[in-house]
Amino acid sequence: MTDAVMTAPPGDPSYIKDKERYFMAIAQVVAKASTHPLAPGGCVLVRDRELIGNGRSLLADCKTEVDCISYAIATTCKRGAPAVGAVIYSTRYPFPHAVFQAHLMGIKRFVILAHEWEPFYRDDFRRAARLARELSVSIEPFYETEDPRLAGANPHAVDAYDPEGGIEERA
């Protein structure tokens, strides 16, 4: 998330200032179309600031679950869009099979909306995290709100307790 918030380059009207927040908001809108009653999820695949696929969690009448990330990868393949170097933005944590699918497609980064794990899937999510480490796939949390303790604070600012500050600054 080092390049998440930057100033727009001169002359580029398509630049997205806070792309992490922008694409996660789209994933949250996609999640509203989910048919999974317990764990609705939405996902978008993004390459070069463009959406190349999207997916939502589904629960079929036969009680078969379709993961939003697998769905998004499938729609990307269906459209014939190359996914190498893409980023996955998802409202749900990935399952191991989705991590492996992403690895095969050349996707090395997930941005996941930070929230409590669903207890039923906890072991699957742990296996997915181990597999991601093994395959060098990054799974990064996205926090909707900033930590109020850090908002507006500059940790590098000189303050009254800085050893380089003079005695008169400390008084």
Q: What is the token pair recorded at 143?
A: 């926090």
Q: What are residue 28's phi and psi, to 5 degrees?
A: -70, -35
Interval 100-128 mean pLDDT: 88
Read off the pLDDT of each residue in 73-98 and give the average, rounded to a whole number.
93
Q: Where are the domains of the chain?
A: 19-145
Give exposure, 92-108, as e/b (b: 16+ Cβ within 10 Å): bbbbbebbbbbbebebb
Closest of 55, 38, 5, 3 to residue 116, by C-alpha: 38
Q: Does 171 have pLDDT greater than 50?
A: no
How high does pLDDT run on average in the chain? Answer: 83
- At 49 the pLDDT is 87
Q: What pTM was estimated for this model as a whole?
A: 0.78
**Helix (H), strand (E) at residue 124:** helix 122-135
105 DSSP assignment: H
Of the ranges 47-51, 123-127, 146-150, which one carries the lowest mean pLDDT score?
146-150
Whether pLDDT at 150 is above 50: yes
CATH superfamily of 19-145: Cytidine Deaminase, domain 2 (3.40.140.10)
Place of tokens 């005695």: 167
CA 2 vs. chain centroid, Å, equals: 14
Residue of 97, 104, 88, 84 whose CA lies nearest to 131: 97
Q: Which of 32, 47, 56, 123 is nearest to 81 (CA)?
A: 47
- CA distances (Å), 94 to each of 42, 90, 151, in order? 11, 8, 29
Tell me: the pLDDT tens digits for 90-101?
999 999 999 999
Q: Are 107 and 81 in contact (CB under 8 A)?
A: no
Q: What would the mean pLDDT of 126-143 be, rounded to a whole number?
A: 92
| In contact, 68 and 90? CB cutoff 8 Å | yes
